[in-house]
Amino acid sequence: MASQWWRSAVFYQIYPRSFADSNGDGIGDLDGITEHLDYLNDGTDRSLGIDAIWLSPINPSPLNDWGYDVSDYCDVHPDLGGLPAFDRLIREARRRGIRVILDLVPNHTSDRHRWFQQSQSSRSNPRRDWYIWKAGAPDNPPNNWVSIFGGPAWKWHEATGEWYLHLFLEQQPDLNYRNPEVIAAMHDVIRFWLDRGAAGYRVDVIHGMIKDAQFRDNPPLVKVEWGSQTDVALKQRHLYDFDQPEVHEIIRGFRRVIDEYGDRMMVGEVWPHSNESLALYLRPDELQQAFNFRFLFCPWKAERFRAQVAEIERILPTGSWPTWTLSNHDFPRHITRYQSGPATEARARLAAVMLLGLRGTPFLYYGEEIGMPDVEISRERWRDPVGRDGCRTPMQWSNEPGGGFTSSRSPWLPLGNCAAVNVARQSDDPYSMLSFYRRAIRARRASPALTAGTIRVVDDAPADCFVFAREAAGSHAMVALNFADEPRGIELPSGKILLSSDFGREPGRIASGKMRLAPNEALVLDSG
């Protein structure tokens, strides 16, 4: 069987425009990432120690949705350095044992993509049917579907007198996966990057790739389920545009291509209708992994996190492996969501231990390892159509002008407070967030229980505490998380302290029996 490296890997998501600018144009680029690979993993304890990078889209794009509107699937955006920079990145990453997965955006293209240019040129163009066109009158869209970014999901195309579908911006027309030529074209795209050394893909809006054959109206939203935040805003349940049964055949086709290469993987961005339907995407011939976005919506409460973990553990098919994520490029960063005056950093450390301690693959988001918060960006300075810029600002490397991110005086998005939070300052400080992440990632790697073990959630943990045990052959660990701003007494088996977010506690010491967890303390014991 091909190696399942993604199970034990710690992933690190990079938003390429915001990581490091190598040529002073104010825009992060792939050479900038290559220059900082040692920071991510140089094989020593001085680096962060991650195993794999997920790059948000790098393809040429008019940037209406910052790369999620692809105009050429088989090239790299010139701002990011083109294909040669990609090849350099892959080569250098490989030398350090770091794998790189790319963002595949198969649901829609940019309206500037040559496929759409052809498709919209006339009703009889051979590529007409590559997108979703519908006849009708200009004042009467084919159905009631709304775009995730607001407004109707249909755009009237004056020149050819038909509507086309766009579940996102009107500059992002949806491809038609009922057309086998589209499927074949996307298989070629998948092969292109795997041939060039990509380790796999994060697949964008994978649940949306195929729509109801009859294009029925979506029902109004009645019940708010977890993760349905867009529905709440739009007052519509995406019953017929998302998560259709036929999507699984498309995914199986993608998986067959992935499997031609042995050890490559896909992690899907899946927003399912229900728990049961999430599990379907993880059948053995579909995705190796699917994101679950539950932690993005969890208030700072032990029982809420515990409930989400228990539910994911219950619904995932046997043999599949969860993923955990606290932050990404679409939502405010967790250190900002959970900020609480002087407790903010302690909460962020606890969150890191939870992410790295759970059974599953953690996906970190660039900057979280230094506790970089969101940057407030006024509406006039938004570059994103829906204002997600605050969590996408440049990495804060140092307190130099340009934050060590760029030598330009105008970074593409404003820098945050580099004096307060930056890599250089934290790098040699054993009490910094960065040093803590380094230790936490190492503690995880050193413990077979933490990297590969089973999980048992402790039911009778004290109030405000989330406690779980991890177990692998010959290796046991206990993770105890106190979400309260007060200390909590707790009974734990005896064991060696592997890690604590309370700097007063000495790693390596033996702890046993009754313990007092400090406010917001996260403690990991090696219990034999």
Q: Which residues bind ligand NOJ (CB under 6 A)?
A: 65, 68, 105, 168, 204-205, 269, 329-330
Q: Which is nearer to ligand NOJ, 162 or 174 (CB)?
A: 174
Q: Which is nearer to Ca ion, 25 or 92 (CB)?
A: 25
Cα separation, 354 vs 437, in Å, equals: 12
How near is the Cβ of 426 to ligand NOJ at its closest, in Å?
28
How near is the Cβ of 314 to Ca ion at its closest, in Å?
46
Q: Which is nearer to ligand NOJ, 108 or 439 (CB)?
A: 108
Beginning with the edge strand found earlier in the chain, give each strand of the sheet holding 323-325 in spatial order. 289-290, 265-268, 200-203, 99-104, 52-55, 11-14, 361-365, 323-325
Cα torsion 109, 260, 251, 323: sign: negative
| Residue 27 partner contact from ligand NOJ, Ca ion, none using kind-dependent CB cut-offs of 5 to 8 Å | Ca ion
Q: Which is nearer to ligand NOJ, 129 or 330 (CB)?
A: 330
Q: Which of 259, 260, 285, 376 is catalytic?
A: 260
How near is the Cβ of 259 to Ca ion at its closest, in Å?
36
Residues that bind Ca ion (CB under 5 A): 21, 23, 25, 27, 29
- In 196-246, alpha helices (H): 229-234
223 burial level (CB within 10 Å; 0-12, 13-18, 19+): exposed
Of 389, 383, 394, whose CA–CA distance to 418 is shortest?
394
**Partners of residue 266 on adjacent β-strands:** 201
How near is the Cβ of 26 to Ca ion at its closest, in Å?
7
Residue nearest to ligand NOJ (CB): 68
**Partners of residue 492 on adjacent β-strands:** 513
129 burial level (CB within 10 Å; 0-12, 13-18, 19+): middle
Q: Is 486 a catalytic residue?
A: no
How near is the Cβ of 377 to ligand NOJ at its closest, in Å?
16
| Residue 68 partner contact from ligand NOJ, Ca ion, none using kind-dependent CB cut-offs of 5 to 8 Å | ligand NOJ
197 burial level (CB within 10 Å; 0-12, 13-18, 19+): middle
Q: Is 348 helix (H, G, I), strand (E, B) or coil?
A: helix
Q: Is 260 a catalytic residue?
A: yes
Dihedral of CA atoms 350, 354, 357, 360 in degrees, nearest 10, equals -160
Cα separation, 146 vs 149, in Å, equals: 8
| Residue 164 partner contact from ligand NOJ, Ca ion, none using kind-dependent CB cut-offs of 5 to 8 Å | none
Q: Is 254 helix (H, G, I), strand (E, B) or coil?
A: helix
| Residue 412 partner contact from Ca ion, ligand NOJ, none using kind-dependent CB cut-offs of 5 to 8 Å | none
Q: Which is nearer to Ca ion, 383 or 496 (CB)?
A: 383
| Residue 21 partner contact from ligand NOJ, Ca ion, none using kind-dependent CB cut-offs of 5 to 8 Å | Ca ion
Q: Which is nearer to Ca ion, 21 or 51 (CB)?
A: 21
How near is the Cβ of 238 to ligand NOJ at its closest, in Å?
13
Q: Which of 170, 204, 374, 464 is catalytic?
A: 204
| Residue 65 partner contact from Ca ion, ligand NOJ, none using kind-dependent CB cut-offs of 5 to 8 Å | ligand NOJ
Q: Which active-site residues does the annotation give?
A: 204, 260
